[in-house]
Amino acid sequence: MSTFYGQVEGCAQTPATRRGTANSGIRVSAQSYEGSVIVSMREPGQVRIELADSSSFYGSCIFDGSIRQLASIFEGADALDNNIGHYFKEEKTA
């Protein structure tokens, strides 16, 4: 059963997809002549982001932590209470 799921969209008519298991994880790289951004997930909720100054599948780690931590870096401490909060909050029961 897949733990991770990825999609890439480009010049093809439909997006390509890949799955990753808890054992394999998933790793994706968006590359250009200016550099690469590499994102990997090995555990649910955990993400690692790397940058490379060339077209590469490996780079220097700039972040290694939870999705919650990443969200707070980009949107401030209240990020999970604002527009992306619904992805992380547990549903409240009445």
In a domain, 66, yes or no: yes
What does residue 33 show for φ and ψ, rounded to 5 degrees? -65, -20
pLDDT over threshold 90, residue 31: yes
Q: Is residue 5 part of a domain?
A: no
Say if residue 45's pLDDT is above 60: yes
| 78 band by pLDDT with thresholds 50, 70 and 90 | low
Host domain of residue 75? 22-87
Inside any domain, residue 42: yes
Say how many domains are in the chain.
1
Domain for residue 49, yes or no?
yes
Comparing CA positions, the residue from 51, 54, 79 lying closest to residue 64 is 51
